C-alpha cells in the first residue's frame, strides 16, 4: 500500500491547487496547464465520488479515503512520466488529509497522514473563498467555507509549505499565479 502513495522522483516543478470546495481550483489548474503547455493532474476524489454517487447514490465514507488517495497518486505519478518541466496538481494527499480531519472528527488513515507529509511540492496555490459557491452532487459545505479555508491554511503553515493565497476574480488569480510561477521557473534554472 505504501508504495502506491509514494511520489515518483522527478526534477519537475510540482504545484498544487489547494483549498476548499468551489474555489476555482480545477479551472485554474486547466488554465495554468494550458498556458505553460504542460500536464495537469485532475482531482481523483471528484472522479471517484461522482462515479459512486451516479451508481449508488452514496456519499463518501471513511473507507473511501485510501482508494481515493491511491487514485490521486496514481494519476500524479502517471503525469510525472511525461517529463513536463511543471506539473499542476488539482489537489494532493494533504488536501485529502484536511478533508478527512473535517469530516471524520480528526481521523486520518495513517498511510495518508504519512505520505501527505513525505510527498513534496514546490508551491501551493491556496484558493480563497471569494468565488461564488456552485452547488453540485458532491459539494456540501456552503456555510463552512471560512472554517474550511482556515483549516487548509493552517495545514500549510503547520507543515511549512511554500504557499501563496490567490484571491479575486479568475483573471486576477491567473495573473498572480503566473507571476509567481514564472519566478519559480527562473529560480529553478
To the nearest 10°, report the CA torsion of 72, 154, 23, 129.
170
Burial class of residue 48 (count of CB atoms within 10 Å of its CB; 0-12, 13-18, 19+): middle
pLDDT at 102 over 90: yes
* Domain region containing 15: 2-188
| pLDDT (0 to 100) of residue 154 | 98
Question: At 117, which CATH number?
Answer: 3.40.50.300
Backbone torsions φ then ψ of 125, nearest 5 degrees: -105, 100
Sheet with 123-127: strands ordered across: 40-41, 86-90, 13-18, 123-127, 163-166
User: Which residues, at least 6 apart from 1, have a Cβ–Cβ distance to it below 8 Å?
Assistant: 66, 70, 111
Task: Count how many domains the chain has.
Answer: 1
Q: What is the pLDDT of residue 189?
A: 77
| Each residue's pLDDT tens digit, 28-86 | 999 999 999 999 999 999 999 999 999 999 999 999 999 999 999 999 999 999 989 99
Among 33, 136, 31, 29, which residue's Cα sits nearest to residue 90? 29
- How distant, in Å, are the alpha carbons of 53, 59, 131, 189 from that of 137? 8, 9, 18, 43
Q: Is the pLDDT of residue 180 over 90?
A: yes
- Tally of CB atoms within 10 A around 125: 24
Proportion of the chain above pLDDT 90, given as a percent: 90
| Interior angle at CA 35, CA 40 and CA 28, nearest 5 | 55
Amino acid at each position: 500500500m505504501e508504495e502506491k502513495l509514494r511520489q515518483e522522483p522527478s526534477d519537475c516543478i510540482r504545484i498544487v491547487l489547494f483549498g476548499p470546495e468551489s474555489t476555482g481550483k480545477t479551472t485554474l489548474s486547466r488554465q495554468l496547464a494550458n498556458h505553460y503547455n504542460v500536464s495537469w493532474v485532475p482531482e481523483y476524489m471528484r472522479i471517484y465520488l461522482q462515479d459512486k454517487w451516479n451508481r449508488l447514490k452514496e456519499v463518501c465514507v471513511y473507507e473511501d479515503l485510501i482508494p481515493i488517495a491511491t487514485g490521486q497518486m496514481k494519476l500524479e505519478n502517471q503525469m510525472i512520466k511525461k517529463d513536463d518541466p511543471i506539473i499542476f496538481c488539482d489537489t494532493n494527499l494533504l488536501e485529502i488529509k484536511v478533508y478527512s480531519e473535517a469530516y471524520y472528527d480528526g481521523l486520518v488513515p495513517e498511510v495518508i497522514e504519512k505520505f501527505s507529509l513525505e510527498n513534496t511540492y514546490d508551491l501551493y496555490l491556496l484558493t480563497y473563498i471569494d468565488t461564488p459557491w456552485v452547488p453540485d452532487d458532491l459539494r456540501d459545505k456552503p456555510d463552512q467555507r471560512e472554517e474550511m479555508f482556515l483549516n487548509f491554511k493552517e495545514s500549510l503553515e503547520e507543515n511549512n509549505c511554500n504557499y501563496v493565497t490567490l484571491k479575486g476574480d479568475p483573471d486576477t488569480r491567473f495573473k498572480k499565479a503566473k507571476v509567481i510561477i514564472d519566478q519559480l521557473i527562473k529560480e529553478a534554472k
